[in-house]
Amino acid sequence: MAQITVHKFGGASVRNAEAVRNVCSILNHFPENKIVIVSAMGKTTNALETIHKKRFEGKDFEKELQEIFHFHFNIAKELEVDADTDWLLVFGTLSQICKKEIEGSFDEEYDRIIGYGEYLSTAIVNACFNQNNLSSKRLNSADYIVTDSRFRDARVQWNKSEERVAALQHEFQSHSTLVLQGFIGAAKDVSQGRSEGASQDLPQDLPQDLPQDLAKHLTSLGREGSDFSAAIFAYLLNADSVTIWKDVPGLLNADPKCFEPTQLLKEISFREAVELAYYGASVIHPRTIKPLQNKNIPLYIKSFLNPTAEGTRIIERANAELEVASYILKQNQTLISISTKDFSFVVEDNLTFIFKTFANLGIHVHMMENSALNFSVCIPSEPTKLKELIEQLSDFHVRYNDNVSILTIRHPKPMVMQQLLQYKEVLLEQRNRTTVRFVIRGNWNLPEPIKE
C-alpha cells in the first residue's frame, strides 16, 4: 500500500493569505499521498460562537456574520481564488441557517453552525492548493467521521467510520492531497444517501461535497478537536505518520504564556504524551494520542513558522523524558465539595449518582479527591452549569470556591516547586511517584519564572 501521511493545520497557520501560501510551501516537501486536516481560519470559530449565543439571546448578529464574510473574502481575493464560488456557496448556506428559526437545543444548534468555519477554510485552502500544483480535492469530514448525538462532545463510532473511510483510498488514484475539515463529524443516524432526508428549506446550490441532509446532523468533537480528527483519519487509514503544525517549536515543558523559560521536549513516549494531554497540555488534544498509540503511528509536532526545525517526536518508547519537569496550569476553575446531609459516608451509591449528574450536564472533572465524608472536584468555571449542578444535587450539601487554578507538575524538581508555591494558598494537594497537583486560590502573575 502506498505511503500516506496526515498533516493538521490549525487556525493560526491559515489566518491570512501569506499563511495559506506557507502551508502550500510546506506540503510541497511531502510528495507522498496526504490527508490534510484544516481548521477554521483565525478566530472564525470564536465569531461563530458569538453568533450562536446571540441567536439564543434574540440579539442581532448581522455584524458578526458580515465580518466573517469580509475576512474570508479578503483572503480569497489576495490568493486570487475569489472566482472559485465554493466558499461563497458555503457562506450562503451558513447565513441562511443562522437566520432560520431555532429548532434544537443550545448544543445541537451550536454544532449545526460551528463547523462552517472549517468548510469556509477548506474551500479557500483547497483552491490555493490546486493553484500550487498539489493535485488537491476537498472532501467533507462529516461524510466519513460517524459519531453519536452527544452534541459539542461527540463520540466516534469507529466501526461505522472505518467503513466510510475505506472509500477514501480510491481518491488517491486521481489526487495526491485530500483536504478535510477538523473538529466535525455527523451523527450516526444520518442517511448515507445525499438526497434522502434532505432538508427542503436549505439552499439547493450547496457545494457538492456539503450534503444538504448533513446540515441538521452535524456534530463536533469538542474544542481543539481538529488534532483528534487527524488521529482518527490516520488510525482508519493506517497512515505512516501524523504531523501537527503549530506556531510553537514543538511540545514544550510548559506554556510560555504561563511559565518561563521553557524547554523543548524533543522526544517523548505515547504514555507521557497521554499524561500531559490528560492534565491539560494545550498543544495536544487529550483524545489525539490513543488511536495513534494503538497502531504505533508516530506523531510529530512541528512549527509552521520554521518547518525545517526538529520539533517533537512522540513514539512508543522514548529516551530521557524523565529528565525534564513539565508544568501545566489550568485557570478559571471551580473547586466543589459535596457531602451528605445525614453525615453518612460518601460511598459507591452516592458517587454513582454524582458522576451520572456530571455526565448528564456535560461537566468535565479536571481533578477529584474522596474522603469519608466529602467528595471534592475541580471543574471549569461555568456559572450556568454550576447552578444546574447544585439544583440537581439538592440532596447533598454543596460548597464551592470560585477563581481557583490547578497546577500540575510532572517529574517535579523540589526547589522549583517550592518557588512556584511561595505566597500561594493551596486548597488541595495530590501526589504520586511522578506527578504532584495543587488547587490554588486566586490568580497568577504570569508568566511565572522557572528557576532550576
Regarding whether 217 and 349 lie in a shared domain, the answer is no
pLDDT band for position 83 (50/70/90)? low
Question: For residue 401, is it within any domain?
Answer: yes
| pTM summary value | 0.84
* pLDDT for 203 beyond 60: no
Regarding whether 221 and 117 lie in a shared domain, the answer is yes
Q: Give the sign of the dihedral formed by CA 22, CA 178, CA 110, CA 200.
A: positive
Regarding whether 342 and 227 lie in a shared domain, the answer is no
Give residue 320's pLDDT: 62
State how far the Cα of 376 lies from the Cα of 391, in Å rounded to an integer. Answer: 17
Question: For residue 235, is it within any domain?
Answer: yes
CATH of the domain at 444: 3.30.2130.10
- 447 upstream amide cis, omega within 30 of 0: yes
**pLDDT tens digits for 410-451?**
999 999 999 999 889 999 999 999 999 999 998 788 899 888
Give residue 451's pLDDT: 80
Q: How many residues make up the chain in this entry? A: 452
Q: Which is nearest to 116 in space by CA: 145, 83, 138, 91?
A: 91
State how far the Cα of 409 lies from the Cα of 227, in Å rounded to an integer. Answer: 24
pLDDT band for position 201 (50/70/90)? very low
Q: Which of 224, 246, 268 is the last residue of a domain?
A: 246
Regarding whether 111 and 12 lie in a shared domain, the answer is yes
Regarding whether 237 and 99 lie in a shared domain, the answer is yes
Q: Which is nearest to 237 in space by CA: 32, 38, 39, 40?
A: 32
Output the average pLDDT for the chain. Answer: 89
Is residue 408 within 8 Å of 372, Cβ to Cβ? no
Regarding whether 340 and 209 lie in a shared domain, the answer is no
**pLDDT tens digits for 380-389?**
999 999 999 9
CATH of the domain at 21: 3.40.1160.10
Domain containing 404: what range? 326-449
Q: Which of 180, 214, 246 is the last residue of a domain?
A: 246
Q: Which of 190, 220, 246 is the last residue of a domain?
A: 246
Rounded average pLDDT over 299-323 = 89
Regarding whether 332 and 239 lie in a shared domain, the answer is no
Rounded average pLDDT over 230-240 = 97
- Edge-to-edge strand ranges of the sheet holding 33-38: 136-138, 177-181, 33-38, 4-9, 241-246, 299-303, 312-315, 267-269
* pLDDT for 214 beyond 90: no
pLDDT band for position 372 (50/70/90)? confident
Angstrom CA distances, 6 to 180, 182, 236, stand at 11, 12, 11
Question: For residue 321, is it within any domain?
Answer: no
Question: For residue 60, is it within any domain?
Answer: yes
Question: Most confidently modeled of 185-194, 298-307, 351-360, 408-417?
Answer: 298-307
Give residue 212's pLDDT: 45
Question: For residue 370, is it within any domain?
Answer: yes
pLDDT band for position 228 (50/70/90)? very high
Q: Which is nearest to 111 in space by CA: 185, 40, 213?
A: 185
CA dihedral 396, 401, 403, 408 (to 10 degrees): -90
Helix axis angle, 62-78 to 17-27, nearest 10°: 50
Question: For residue 295, is it within any domain?
Answer: no
Regarding whether 338 and 196 lie in a shared domain, the answer is no
The CB density around residue 112, as the number of other CB atoms within 10 Å, is 25
Q: Domain tally for the chain?
A: 2
Question: For residue 284, is it within any domain?
Answer: no
* pLDDT for 199 beyond 60: no
Give residue 3's pLDDT: 92
Question: For residue 294, is it within any domain?
Answer: no
Residue with more model confidence, 78 or 202: 78
pLDDT band for position 342 (50/70/90)? confident
